[in-house]
Structure 1
Amino acid sequence: MAKKFPLQPPHPERICWGCDRYCPAGSLECGNGSERTMHPAEMLGEDWYLFGDWGIEPPGETKKPKDQPL
């Protein structure tokens, strides 16, 4: 089972976000590249998860089915 992906980690620059291992930036274990993968918040801003179809829900929100009336 994959770890839950944090929406706003306190120090995203300290971790590689390229796989489920979340290695420290100084000791990359997966060999997925020579540099760490940045967290989306570092590239797109703190509200990155509000835009686009990421397949995750912000805390406290749930999707309503489109075919059911309110």
Structure 2
Amino acid sequence: MAKKFPIKPVHPERICWGCDKYCPIDALACGNGSERTQHPVELFGDDWMEPILPFQEEDGENERDGS
């Protein structure tokens, strides 16, 4: 069974997030390469779980003049 994925870890930079092992950065056990996989909060910011809604234009903003 997979471990629960932490939404907002305290120190995400200390762990490799590439698999369910969550290895410390100085002892990568999964052979994931020489670099650790970053947590989404490091890549996208604290609001990485919030949905991004499509941009909605105001009525009449894109209408062309009839002249």
Q: TM-score range by the shorter chain?
A: 0.7 to 0.9
Q: C-alpha displacement at 1:34, in angstroms? A: 1.1
Matched, 1:35 2:35: yes
Shift of 1:33: 1.3
User: Larger Rg: 1 or 2?
Assistant: 2
Identical-pair percentage: 67
SS of the residue 1:49 aligns to: coil
Question: Residue 48 of structure 1 aligns to a residue in which SS?
Answer: coil
The residue number in structure 1 matching 2:26 is 26
Equivalent-residue separation in structure 2 for 1:51 and 1:2 (angstroms): 24
Distance apart, 1:22 and its partner CA = 0.1
Structure 2 gap segments, 5+ residues each: 53-67
Residue 37 (structure 1) shift: 0.2
Mapping of 1:1-70 within 5 angstroms? 1-51=1-51
Deviation at 1:51, TM superposition (A): 2.5
* Long gaps (5+) in structure 1: 53-70
* RMSD across aligned positions (CA): 1.0
Query: What TM-score, normalized by structure 1, do the two folds share?
Result: 0.71
1:40 Cα deviation from its structure 2 partner: 0.2
**How many aligned residue pairs are there?**
52
